[in-house]
Structure 1
Amino acid sequence: MQTYEKTITVSEEDLDQLNHVNNVRYVQWVQDMAEAHWLQNATKAILDHYFWVLVSHHIDYKNQAVLGDQLRLKTYVSKSEGIFSIRQVDIYNASNDKLIVKSETKWCLMSIKTKRPTRIPAEIITLFE
């Protein structure tokens, strides 16, 4: 399975009133990782014909992160079938490899031309295997 990883540092803008990363920020990072992985792998031809919409989002908050923590974000597609794709995004504390967040999102592939759901073609599935 093809993965995409990125390391970030927690900044003051990421914190909530309790001085740990705001839960909403994790949701944004999950979405950002999905988009970055898609844009890294998809060809211009694919991008000209398809886009994804988020159908559902599940996130488990396992531990907290605070200002200055280095976080390793890792994403991969665990399943693609029909019009849907299931994506995992895990966020770890980079210094001790402790799992901070585990998420699963369900995405639907859409046709740019029709603005309707469309079956995921093999050319897209193989980009993320």
Structure 2
Amino acid sequence: MSAADLSTLSTLSNLPWDRPNPHTLVVTVAPEHIDLMRHTNNVVYLQWLEDIAWAHSTALGLGPAEYEALGHGMVVRQHELNYIQATRLGERIALGTWLTGADKLTLQRHYQFIRIDDGQTAFRGRSEFVCVDIAQGKVRRMPSAFVQAYTNAVVPAQAG
């Protein structure tokens, strides 16, 4: 690991996360993310939700290939998106996510996006997912591999 990588990891761990040990990605706001209001367009945040959710799921051993092999997947039932502060061109944003609940059918995921330079939370969100049979598109119980990986990764809210 390079010195820059270690510095980034240290910086990320010192950010004011809502819960301990988020799964993180760092993005930089690019010109294509900017809208007429000269800040990151709302739809970009939705893409970032998908990016960080897939990165976390894949890190837990359940990426697209595993979904396909198991014939099941998690699909969004509901998103809650809270835009708190603008992000602007060139800013580095730490995307963080946690699984906050899981049972045999559903999964809850929380998100927090923090501007790295000033440590300010720019966005919070929540998604609820439901398990479906990929071939039939019908709600089904999660395969045991899903239950094990996802329930073991649930992070409770911090006390206080």
TM interval, shorter chain, is 0.7 to 0.9
3-state SS of paired residue (1:5)? strand
Aligned to 1:13: 32
Q: CA deviation at 1:37?
A: 1.1
Aligned to 1:118: 140
Within 2, Cα distance between the matches of 1:52 and 1:2? 23
Q: CA deviation at 1:31?
A: 1.4
Aligned in 2, Cα 1:23/1:113: closer, same or farther, shift over 3 Å?
A: closer
- The answer to whether structure 1 residue 72 and structure 2 residue 94 are counterparts is yes
Aligned in 2, Cα 1:43/1:70: closer, same or farther, shift over 3 Å?
A: closer
Q: CA deviation at 1:20?
A: 0.4
Which of 62, 65, 84 does residue 62 from structure 1 map onto? Answer: 84
- The answer to whether structure 1 residue 41 and structure 2 residue 60 are counterparts is yes
Q: TM-score, normalised by structure 2?
A: 0.72
Q: CA deviation at 1:112?
A: 3.5
What RMSD, in angstroms, separates the aligned Cα atoms of the two structures?
2.0
Aligned to 2:130: 108
Q: TM-score, normalised by structure 1?
A: 0.88
Higher relative contact order (CA 8 A, sep 6+): 1
Aligned in 2, Cα 1:33/1:63: closer, same or farther, shift over 3 Å?
A: same
- The answer to whether structure 1 residue 27 and structure 2 residue 49 are counterparts is no
- Gaps (5+ residues) in structure 2? 1-19, 155-160
> Once the two structures are superposed, what CA deviation does each residue of 1:64-93 show, in whole Å capped at 9, x if it has no partner?
000010100001110002311110111000
Given that residues 10 and 70 in structure 1 are in contact (C-alpha distance below 8 angstroms), is that contact kept between their aligned partners in structure 2?
A: yes
Percent of pairs with identical residues: 21
